[in-house]
Each structure stands twice: as structure tokens, then as C-alpha cells.
């Protein structure tokens, strides 16, 4: 059995090399490298998979390159509403937050919901009040302002439409972030965080905060974090579907993930990808788009960082 392993993603979509400058590509890879390297250290030190996935996602949330935390897109009101969730596979404990604003690291709040409340999901103002009670760090609107994100919103803010962050109508692509890990104790966990869609309607919730759709973990099968067209991941209950195929049809992690991403998701016109780890520490990172920002690292093996197919 693999001692421990970690995988992260920063979004999937129409990521074309022809639209990527060498400098921008280097920045993406550096951000992915920083996140997975710090999470790997956590696992190497014998700490939990939950600690590892939370830290990896927090580092990605702190980067303006990805659509989560600091880099979150603008909604239809010109604000930022963020979603996040975390789940561990031992007792299938989970925590999630939706439609929250001002919280620096939504994934931190999701973990607090999991560990310090009797609830699984908290939303909006109530979640923000809960964050204040537990002294979660908030940031001003200026912290979340990014010129590129603002320009994205300006192009469509009066059209009544919204735009997936990885739409092929855009020259540069960003996306939801996530992590999955197996620790030395044999436990697995998953975490996902997002800023949603540009110009999304007030109160829209995506799959990233929904257990079973964007995030899932079960020690008997796998831990999964998804990225892509959220509405389709919700309709297909994608994260749980991978686990279900493993548990009830006996498929391997690779077989189940391929079935879900390359067949079932496509059948309902969905696009995107996922990262997953099984109870043995095996990793898979399938996607049906042009690319997915991703990195993986199995204990005592080579670290891998990729963007394109």
C-alpha cells in the first residue's frame, strides 16, 4: 500500500497552450507546486489527510490565479459569493458553506462547520456570523478585487447571462480549486472551494459546496473533488457516483472515474474533471476538457504538475 498521497486541482476547461504565455504558465505551475509541496510536508510529518487538503486549498484560495478565495469572480451585484466543502472518509463527517462573502478562506470555515457544529452546511449571513464567532479571518472588498476578474464581469454584467470561468469564449482560464489525500493512517479526505460563475445570480450555489456532487469521501472507496460545469455535476451527483460505482459495481478507481467523466457526464452535456484517491493511495485525475490545472504526489515518487492533456 502507498504510504500517503496527495492531488490538487485548480480548475478544468478550455485551456489552450496557444493562449498561455510562458510567464503565466510558470506562475500557474509555481502556485500548484507551492500548494502540493506544503500539503505533502503535512502528510510526511504524519498529520491527517484533513489537515493536508485544507492547507492545499487555503494556499490556492490565497492566489489570485484561481477562482476561489482571493481570485473569486464577480457576481451580478458586483460582489463575491463563495462556496466550499470538506469531507473525511472515516466517519463520513462533512462541512460546507455557501454564498458567503468576506471570508478569506472559505475552506477553513467549512472545516469549522464540520468539527464545531452539528450541521453539515451553513449559508450566507448565518455562515458569516458563525465565522465571526469562531474568529475566522475576514478581508475587505479591496482584497478580493482583481482587475482581470472585474473586466470579465464588465463585459457581461448587463446581459442577464452568466459565464463559467472555464468557458471557451475567454482567452485565459481559471477555476475552482480542490484537493484529495490519503494519510499514513490509511484515511482519506477531500476539499473543494470556488467563487462560482461570473455574473451569477445572487444566491446561486454550485456543486463545490454540495456533498456528493462536488466533494465526497469514504474510506471504503475514495475521496473526490470536482471542477467544471457545476449544474451538471449536481445533476449527476458526480463525486458520489464514482464512489458508488466502486462500492456496488466493484470498479477500480480508474474505471469508475473514467465512466463518470468520459461517459456519464458527457451524456448530460457536462464538462470538467475530478481528482480522486482511493483507500490504497492510488490517484486519478481525469477530465474531458482541453486541460485541467493539476498536481499529484505519491510518497517517495516524483511530483507531477500539469496543465494540458
Q: Which residues are catalytically annotated? A: 176
Helix (H) or strand (E) run with residue 132 in it:
helix 124-133
* Chain-centre distance for alpha carbon 240: 15
Pair 188, 59: CB distance under 8 Å: no
Alpha carbons 280 and 221: distance in angstroms, whole number: 9
- Three cell numbers at 51? 489537515
Residue in this structure with the C-alpha cell 485565459, named with its chain if needed: 172
Cβ neighbourhood burial of 252 (10 Å; 0-12, 13-18, 19+) = middle
Alpha carbons 81 and 83: distance in angstroms, whole number: 7
Q: What is the CA radius of gyration of the chain?
A: 17
Report the candidate in 292, 232, 303, 220 with the shortest Cα–Cα distance to residue 256: 220
Amino acid at each position: 500500500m502507498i504510504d500517503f498521497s496527495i492531488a490538487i486541482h485548480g480548475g478544468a476547461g478550455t485551456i489552450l497552450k496557444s493562449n498561455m504565455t510562458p510567464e503565466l504558465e510558470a506562475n500557474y505551475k509555481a502556485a500548484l507546486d507551492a500548494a502540493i509541496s506544503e500539503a505533502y510536508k503535512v502528510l510526511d510529518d504524519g498529520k491527517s489527510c484533513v489537515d493536508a487538503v485544507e492547507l492545499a486549498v487555503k494556499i490556492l484560495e490565497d492566489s489570485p490565479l484561481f477562482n476561489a478565495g482571493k481570485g473569486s469572480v464577480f457576481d451580478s451585484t458586483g460582489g463575491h459569493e463563495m462556496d466550499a466543502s470538506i469531507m473525511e472518509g472515516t466517519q463520513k463527517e462533512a462541512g460546507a458553506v455557501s454564498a458567503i462573502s468576506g471570508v478569506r478562506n472559505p475552506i477553513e470555515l467549512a472545516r469549522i462547520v464540520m468539527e464545531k457544529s452539528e450541521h453539515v452546511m451553513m449559508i450566507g449571513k448565518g455562515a458569516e456570523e458563525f465565522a465571526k464567532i469562531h474568529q475566522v479571518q475576514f478581508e475587505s472588498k479591496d482584497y478580493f478585487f482583481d482587475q482581470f476578474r472585474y473586466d470579465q464581469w464588465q463585459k457581461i454584467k448587463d446581459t442577464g447571462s452568466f459565464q463559467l470561468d472555464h468557458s471557451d469564449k475567454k482567452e485565459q482560464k481559471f477555476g475552482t480549486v480542490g484537493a484529495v489525500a490519503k494519510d499514513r493512517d490509511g484515511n482519506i479526505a477531500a476539499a473543494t472551494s470556488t467563487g462560482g460563475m461570473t455574473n451569477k445570480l445572487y444566491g446561486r450555489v454550485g456543486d463545490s459546496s454540495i456533498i456528493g456532487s462536488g466533494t465526497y469521501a469514504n474510506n471504503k472507496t475514495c475521496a473526490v473533488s470536482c471542477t467544471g460545469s457545476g449544474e451538471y455535476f449536481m445533476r449527476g451527483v458526480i463525486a458520489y457516483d464514482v464512489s458508488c460505482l466502486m462500492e456496488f459495481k466493484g470498479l477500480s478507481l480508474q474505471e469508475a472515474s473514467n465512466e463518470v467523466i468520459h461517459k456519464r457526464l458527457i451524456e448530460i452535456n457536462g464538462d470538467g474533471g475530478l481528482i480522486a484517491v482511493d483507500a490504497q493511495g492510488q490517484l486519478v485525475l481525469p477530465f474531458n476538457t482541453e486541460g485541467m490545472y493539476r498536481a499529484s504526489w505519491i510518497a517517495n515518487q516524483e511530483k507531477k504538475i500539469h496543465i494540458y492533456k
